[in-house]
Every structure is written in structure tokens, then in C-alpha cells.
Amino acid sequence: MDTATVAKRLHDLCSTGKYQEAMRELYADNARHVEAMEMPGSPYKRVIEGKNSLLAMSEQWMKTTTVHGGSVGKPLVNGDQFVCEMSMDCTHHEGPMAGRRMNMSETCLYTVRDGKIVEAKFFYSMDKA
């Protein structure tokens, strides 16, 4: 798949809440996530490498978080990269944010090689709902 096709497929899957399916289908085995910051007291590291590690982190996050709603913006493609905005209204049940309902908004920068996402970088802020 070319970058535009990967971007559209990620948008389609994430818009319907299929985040883990998007990872399984679209991520390279050596993909990595780079978060904007490491949260104090959080079990998640700022950089996570490998599709299996990313899937495990995502599964754990879904078990400990209630998602009340969210949105995914249309991707903008430039060469082998694309960006999209994502937002989520959620409540965490573990860690330093336990019991807090949060509105999270982020801009996601994805890099595609050989038809798969190899890196995702997240730029965000969080505010109380």
C-alpha cells in the first residue's frame, strides 16, 4: 500500500474504534511509538518499540480506561508521512490519572515504509473534562 492508502485505512479503522485492528493490520513488526512526554508514575515508557509491545500496551490501556467518545480527523499526506488529529474523552482507572475524566487531543505523525507504519509520534495536551 502507498502512504495515502495506509492513511485512509487507519482513519477508517480508528474512526470506528478499531485501534488494535489498525495496529495488527497496518503496523510493521518493528514499529515504534514516540510519546510527547513520559508521564510520572505511568507504566508506559515514552518510546515503545515492536508491534507486539505496542499491542500489549494498547490492550492494557483499554482494560484500564473507559472511553466515553472520540474523533479522528482526515489524514494529510506528505511523501512517506501523514498527520491526523485524534481526540478522546476518557476516564483512567489506574495510575496517576485514576478516576479523572480527561479530554485528550493529539496530533499524530505517522511514517510509512514498504506499505506499513514504522513510526508514530504523538503531540498532545490533556485537560480535565
Q: What is the pTM of this model?
A: 0.90
Q: Which three cell numbers stand for residue 27?
A: 503496523
**Domain membership of residue 63 as a residue range:** 3-128
Per DSSP, the three-state class of 3 is helix
Tally of structural domains, the chain: 1
- CB-based contacts of 85: which residues, under 8 Å, 6+ apart? 72, 73, 105, 106, 107, 108
Q: How far apart are CA 52 and CA 24, in angstroms?
A: 9
Query: pLDDT digits over 3-55, tens only?
Result: 999 999 999 999 998 999 999 999 999 999 998 887 666 667 889 999 999 99
What pLDDT, on a 0 to 100 scale, did the predictor assign at position 37?
Answer: 80
| SS3 labels along 24-35 | HHHEEEEEEEEC
- Residue 53's pLDDT is 93
Strands (E), the chain: 27-34, 47-49, 65-72, 76-78, 81-92, 101-113, 116-128
CATH of residue 97's domain is 3.10.450.50
> Between helices 51-63 and 19-26, what is the axis angle to 10°?
180
pLDDT digit string, tens, across residues 88-104 = 999 989 877 789 998 88
